[in-house]
Each structure stands twice: as structure tokens, then as C-alpha cells.
Structure 1
Amino acid sequence: MTQDGTGAGFAGKRILVVEDEMIVAMLIEDILMDGGATVVGPAARVNKALDLLGTETVDAALLDVNLAGENTVPVAEELRRRGIPFAFATGYGAAGLPDGFTGQPLLQKPFQERDLQEVISRVLAG
């Protein structure tokens, strides 16, 4: 749990991180782990994320919308099919969300630690 208690809901949760920028992925991983979560990944490619979904138990996910030009819609569709809650991360705001996913929780890049904690807490709360 973080000092302000915002990460309390992460303890024991397995969160898939799909992010192609290594520095950003490491920051997300640190914040989630500080909150007690286990990070699955991070995956920098769609195929890797789908492979992880096929082999790992996942409670929630955070998906960068764009992985070096590769759209993460196939991962989002698989998460939706499995009933696994998730949020998108993008620097383009709500306008950057893929068609059919406009209601998904969104982490606006660049973000602060508190922003990530709030989005993941909301996703885990359902």
C-alpha cells in the first residue's frame, strides 16, 4: 500500500501491462508493485500480450493504445471477451480511444503516480 492508501486495492492483483516505451513501462511497474500488485509483462507487442493472456492469470490490464504503430485493439477485444477489466493509456485523450471502446477508463499520458493509482483502482473496482 502507498503512504496515502491509494494503492490498497492492488494487493494480490495480477495486472497485465502493455507498453512499448521501456521507461514508461518501468514507471508503471514500480507504481503497481509499490501498491502490492504483481505485474504481468510488460509486453511491448500485441502478440506478446496475447501470449501472456493465454498463459498467465490476469485480474486487470493497462494498455497503451499504440505500440510503435501497432494498435492494441486485438488485446482489448480479448480482455473484453474474457471479462477482464482494463484501461487504456494514451497521450491523445478520449479522442485517441479506438472505436467501440469510448467508455473505457483512460490514463492520460503524461501521468502522475496518483493518476495511475486512481485509474487502476477504478478498473479493479469494476
Structure 2
Amino acid sequence: MAGALAAKILPKPRILIVEDEPFILLTLEDMLSDLGCEVAASATRISEALEFIGNRPIDGALLDVNLGDQKIDPVADRLAAIGCPFVFTTGYGRSGVPHTHMERGVLQKPFRMDDLARVLRDEFKFIA
């Protein structure tokens, strides 16, 4: 009973999604909701993500490595500077991950619900 009560009282983890592909973005939003997380914001551009990070609290982020012709490096650097956990999403494996953040987790596209749940558990420690 106490565990169930604590689960109801604890706030949902707030996740920032930075993704420029609409289908993947919608899929992530739905999956995160199903896994008990709140989507704090969805950004499709580096400038949007940086503005959000500077103005709102988040508990973690999922970062597409490439947003069109923009690299995700400035967003990853900002999140690392404030100690916010993040994971890269990419279809290219570790080859596209910024060199300064090679130790971060990678969610390989295409992914399934259990892949995302594993990332939330192992990288963010959000779910059991």
C-alpha cells in the first residue's frame, strides 16, 4: 500500500524531447506518457531547446543527434553543464554522437516501447 501511495504522490518525470521528425516525435510523446512520464516540451530546433532549458525545469532529455543540418552539441553541452541526464536518439549508432558526450546512452532508431523503458530505467533511473 505504501508503495502504491508513493507512486501516486511522486511527480511524473518531466522529459524534454528534441526531435525534428514528426512521426518519431509523436511516437516518443505517446510512449513517454504510457510509461508514466510528462513531456515537458518538444523542440524541433536547437534554439527552441536551448530557450526551454533556460526557462523551465526538466528531469531528463531525449536528443536527436541531427536536426536537419544542425548538430545537437549545444543542447547536450547545456544539459551536461546543469547536470541534467540525457540520451541521444539516432539511427546511426554511436558514430553521430558528439565526441564530448560519447559516454551517454543511445536509443537506437527504430526503437520499441521496451527500448525506451530500458533507457528510462538504466540511464535516468525513472522507472522500475
- Between the aligned partners of 1:121 and 1:45, the Cα distance in structure 2 is 27
Q: For residue 92 of structure 1, what is the aligned residue in structure 2?
A: 92
Structure 2: segments with no counterpart, 5+ residues:
1-10
> So what's the TM-score if we normalise by structure 1?
0.88
What SS class does the counterpart of residue 110 from structure 2 fall into?
coil
Letter in 2 for 1:122: D
Mapping for residues 94-109 of structure 1, pairs under 5 Å: 94-109=94-109
**Identical positions, percent:** 41
- Between the aligned partners of 1:27 and 1:101, the Cα distance in structure 2 is 25
Q: For residue 71 of structure 1, what is the aligned residue in structure 2?
A: 71
Question: Does residue 123 of the first structure (1) align with residue 123 of the second (2)?
Answer: yes
Question: Does residue 114 of the first structure (1) align with residue 103 of the second (2)?
Answer: no
- Between the aligned partners of 1:91 and 1:35, the Cα distance in structure 2 is 22
Letter in 2 for 1:20: D
Aligned residues: 117
> So what's the TM-score if we normalise by structure 2?
0.86
- Between the aligned partners of 2:116 and 2:71, the Cα distance in structure 1 is 21
What SS class does the counterpart of residue 125 from structure 1 fall into?
coil
Q: For residue 60 of structure 1, what is the aligned residue in structure 2?
A: 60
Higher relative contact order (CA 8 A, sep 6+): 1
Query: CA RMSD, aligned part only?
Result: 1.6
- Between the aligned partners of 1:18 and 1:87, the Cα distance in structure 2 is 11
- Which of the two has higher C-alpha Rg? 2
Letter in 2 for 1:86: F
Structure 1: segments with no counterpart, 5+ residues:
1-10
Alignment deviations for residues 4-55 of structure 1 (CA, whole Å, 9 cap, x no partner): xxxxxxx610000000001100000001011111102210000000111111
Q: Tell me by how many angstroms 1:123 deviates.
A: 2.1
